[in-house]
């Protein structure tokens, strides 16, 4: 048999090519071709990431590729993100297995992306897994029963996880304090969003050997939790600790202080706080805390302290002087409501984690206690959140802060009020930016020059593929840009509130013409009443107008969808075949309930 030109390439070149491909593409293309290629790509059999697959690709992976690679797989990623229903579909396929370990005998890590209430049946099958990483679907709130099951299987069962990630939105997870205490001595790394401080204290009891902890506290509790903070229940090996909250009352400086002095083993401490407590703005308080942590090597904090009246800007000079006396390297800046104080530089490489920075365009006017450290390039900042709370700003203010974080992959812009329409003079390049969230502009008026700079200029954002924006803002933009086409974008996420009005056919038609190359389209609306009148026609327009569409999600918060074509299975099947142009051998995975219509094809 003659060798192909590809097979004549040395292993080093083939491996270099594989680094640019997904694991599915590598296994699908080269597995079982010959002995030499099987040996060359053997390392790629260990990780099976089926994120972003089409339904046809998933079915091929499960039916043909998985049998060849099951005994090698160590890390498995299942995802409902852009492939709605994938986790449930996989779990239904392995219903005859009591655990994943029976199917994948070498599995060590499982990641579940956009986990939802429909996926709970996979939880009892997690035996023999070292790392379980779960990110909850932010578009669909978890039921109380689902949160209880997550708590039970992750923390109150016999599973001996060494690392757990449970990232829950909308209130965090409220642990079952009345359940029998089950201790997991093997758990060393934990990332979690808890409801209240006492949930954190309970976790210390359940996992006494924690080494690294990344925790977010969701809400304030009127119950005094400090009475439970005793040295007997606090972790004895914890060295890396990150704690954050966006609830202004959830964690006072006094509460933080009480927790920290009972963990003297801390070496790396990171604090990301939105608060009303002015003690966070006192350099002396931080100095006192540092003095009680004998092993502390590095302290990072990012604080947003609400103290302004909203009428005049906050004077930052007293706070700069306070931290200068404490000899702490910080930057300080403020708008009319919020005082920002961050340690510098933005570098958390010692934490071995990606960093998210919440800031404001007014950082351009910041003052610092250490100009050299402030001017150091940011390192490891993956996500950037910018907000001005609708205060007037210039484009240059936004470009200044963006230029300080050139390596971000996700950019979140909120409450935007840019007054100028030109003057884009500052050079900018965001070569790794993948996702842009632009929510929301004052009076729904997106600043066109700034938006086009980020979305249309491929020399500035060459990797941009996903856009999240408010429905009303985007419709307003498209009407001001007739004939404009955003053909670079592959993912579009629209959010509609009550102020965005009804979802009408003319506006959907406009959006589809403006974004013709979408692979994934999601629309979250506040109430089904804003779309029910033309629901069936709008769905047909979307799925028939986007030739590259892989997934579509329509979700409502209030009321219920009314789709007459889906009353019974026969009518639904006929409707699906008609709008997708399917033959009898083709399939579409569709999920329909009162709050959601999801399509994966």
Model pLDDT for residues 427-475, shown as the tens digit of each residue: 899 999 999 999 888 878 888 999 999 999 999 999 999 999 999 999 9
The verdict on residue 114 lying in a domain is: no
Q: Is residue 514 part of a domain?
A: yes
Count how many domains the chain has: 2
Q: Does residue 312 belong to any structural domain of this protein? A: no
Residue 223 has a pLDDT of 62
Beta strands across the sheet bearing 435-438:
355-359, 381-387, 410-414, 435-438, 466-470, 491-496, 520-527, 551-558, 596-600, 589-592
Here the CATH number for the domain that contains residue 496 is 3.80.10
Residue 179 in any domain: the answer is no
Query: How many C-alpha atoms does 57 have within 13 Å on its Cβ side?
Result: 18
Q: Tell me, what's the pLDDT at 443?
A: 79
Q: What is the pLDDT of residues 306-342, one digit of tens each?
A: 998 878 889 999 999 999 999 999 999 999 899 999 9
Between 577 and 225, the more confident residue is: 577
Measured over the CA atoms of residue 17, residue 23, residue 25 and residue 30, the dihedral's sign is: positive
pLDDT at 207 over 70: yes
pLDDT at position 226 over 60: no
Q: Give the tokens for residue 297.
A: 């090597």
Q: What is the pLDDT of residues 120-175, one digit of tens each?
A: 999 999 999 999 999 998 888 899 999 999 999 999 999 999 999 999 887 899 99
CA distance linking residue 509 with residue 270, whole number of Å: 47
DSSP labels, 510-554: HHHHHSTT-SEEEEEEEEGGGTGGGHHHHHHHHHHH-TT--EEEE
The mean pLDDT of the chain is: 90
- State which residues form the domain around 540: 466-600
pLDDT(273) > 70: yes
The answer to whether the CB of 280 falls within 8 A of the CB of 253 is yes
pTM of the model: 0.92
H or E stretch at 74: none
Residues 162, 188 contacting (CB under 8 angstroms): yes
Tens digits of residue pLDDT in 402-434: 999 999 999 999 989 888 767 676 789 999 999
SS (H, E, C) 360-403: CHHHHHCEECCHHHHCCCCECEEEEEEECCCCCECHHHHHHHHH
The span from the CA of 95 to the CA of 117, in Å, is: 17
Q: Which of 71-85, 199-213, 339-353, 565-579 has the lowest mean pLDDT?
A: 565-579
> What tokens appear for 429 in the block?
């390049």
The Cα 239–Cα 267 span in angstroms is 5
The answer to whether the CB of 567 falls within 8 A of the CB of 592 is: no
What is the per-residue pLDDT across 486-517, written as a single tens digit (0 to 9) for each? 999 999 999 998 888 899 999 999 999 999 99
Q: Assign 269 to helix, strand or coil.
A: strand
**Residue 592: inside a domain:** yes
Q: How confident is the model at residue 503, as a pLDDT?
A: 92
CA distance 52 to 83: 6
User: Would 420 be classed as within a structural domain?
Assistant: no
Is residue 510 situated within a structural domain? yes
Whether residue 224 has pLDDT greater than 60: no
Separation of alpha carbons 123 and 125, rounded Å: 5
CB 254, CB 285: distance < 8 Å? no
Given a cut of 70, whether residue 562 has pLDDT beyond it is yes
Mean local confidence (pLDDT), 290-304: 96
Q: Which residue has the higher pLDDT, 578 or 507?
A: 507
In eight-state DSSP terms, residue 426 is: S
∠ CA 259-260-263, nearest 5°, is 100
Q: What is the rounded distance in angstroms from the CA atom of residue 140 to the CA atom of residue 596?
A: 9
Question: Is 521 contained in some domain?
Answer: yes
At 1 the pLDDT is: 47
């Amino acid at each position: 048999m003659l060798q192909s030109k590809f097979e004549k390439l040395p292993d080093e070149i083939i491996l270099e090519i594989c680094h640019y491909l997904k694991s599915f593409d590598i296994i699908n293309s080269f597995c079982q071709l010959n002995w030499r290629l099987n040996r060359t790509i053997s390392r790629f059999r260990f990780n099976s990431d089926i994120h972003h697959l089409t339904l046809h690709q998933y079915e091929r992976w499960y039916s043909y590729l998985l049998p060849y690679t099951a005994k090698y797989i160590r890390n498995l990623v299942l995802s409902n993100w852009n492939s709605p229903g994938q986790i449930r579909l996989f779990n239904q396929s392995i219903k005859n297995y009591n655990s994943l370990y029976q199917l994948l005998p070498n599995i060590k890590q499982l990641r579940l992306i956009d986990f939802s209430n429909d996926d709970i049946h996979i939880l009892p099958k997690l035996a023999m897994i070292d790392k379980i990483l779960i990110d909850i679907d932010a578009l669909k709130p978890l039921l109380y029963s689902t949160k209880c099951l997550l708590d039970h299987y992750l923390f109150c069962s016999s599973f001996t996880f060494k690392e757990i990630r449970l990232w829950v939105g909308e209130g965090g997870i409220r642990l079952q304090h009345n359940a029998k205490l089950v201790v997991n001595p093997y758990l060393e790394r934990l990332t979690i969003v808890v409801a209240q401080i006492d949930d954190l204290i309970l976790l210390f009891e359940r996992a006494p050997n924690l080494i690294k902890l990344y925790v977010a506290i969701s809400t304030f509790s009127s119950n005094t939790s400090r009475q439970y903070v005793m040295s007997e229940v606090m972790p004895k090996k914890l060295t890396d600790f990150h704690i954050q909250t966006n609830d202004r009352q959830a964690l006072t400086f006094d509460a933080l202080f009480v927790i920290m002095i009972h963990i003297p083993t801390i070496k790396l401490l990171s604090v990301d706080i939105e608060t009303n407590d002015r003690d966070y703005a006192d350099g002396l308080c931080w100095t006192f805390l540092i003095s009680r942590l004998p092993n502390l090597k590095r302290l990072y904090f990012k604080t947003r302290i609400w103290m302004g009246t909203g009428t005049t800007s906050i004077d930052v000079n007293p706070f700069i002087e306070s931290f200068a006396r404490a000899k702490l390297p910080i930057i300080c800046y403020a708008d009319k409501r919020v005082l920002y104080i961050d340690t510098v530089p933005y570098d958390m490489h010692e934490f071995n984690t990606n960093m998210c920075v919440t800031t404001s365009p007014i950082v351009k006017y910041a003052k610092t206690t250490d100009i050299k450290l402030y001017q150091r390039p940011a390192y490891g900042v993956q996500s950037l959140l910018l907000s001005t709370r609708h205060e007037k700003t210039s484009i240059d203010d936004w470009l200044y802060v963006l230029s300080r974080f050139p390596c971000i992959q996700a950019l979140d812009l909120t409450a935007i009020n840019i007054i100028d329409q030109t003057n884009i003079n500052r050079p900018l390049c965001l070569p790794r930016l993948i996702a842009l969230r632009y929510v929301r502009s004052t009076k729904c008026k997106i600043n066109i020059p700034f938006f086009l700079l980020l979305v249309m200029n491929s020399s500035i954002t060459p990797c941009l593929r996903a856009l999240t924006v408010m429905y009303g803002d985007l419709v307003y933009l498209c009407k001001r840009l007739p004939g404009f086409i955003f053909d670079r974008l592959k993912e579009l996420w629209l959010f509609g509130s009550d102020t965005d009005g009804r979802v009408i056919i003319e506006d959907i038609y406009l959006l589809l013409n403006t974004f013709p190359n979408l692979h994934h389209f999601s629309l979250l609306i506040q109430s089904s009443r804003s779309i029910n009148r033309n629901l069936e026609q709008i769905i047909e327009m979307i799925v028939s107008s986007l030739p590259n569409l892989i997934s579509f999600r329509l979700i409502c918060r209030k009321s219920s969808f009314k789709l007459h074509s889906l009353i019974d299975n026969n009518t639904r099947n006929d409707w699906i075949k008609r709008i997708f142009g399917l033959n009898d051998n083709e399939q579409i995975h569709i999920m329909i309930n009162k709050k959601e219509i999801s399509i994966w094809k």
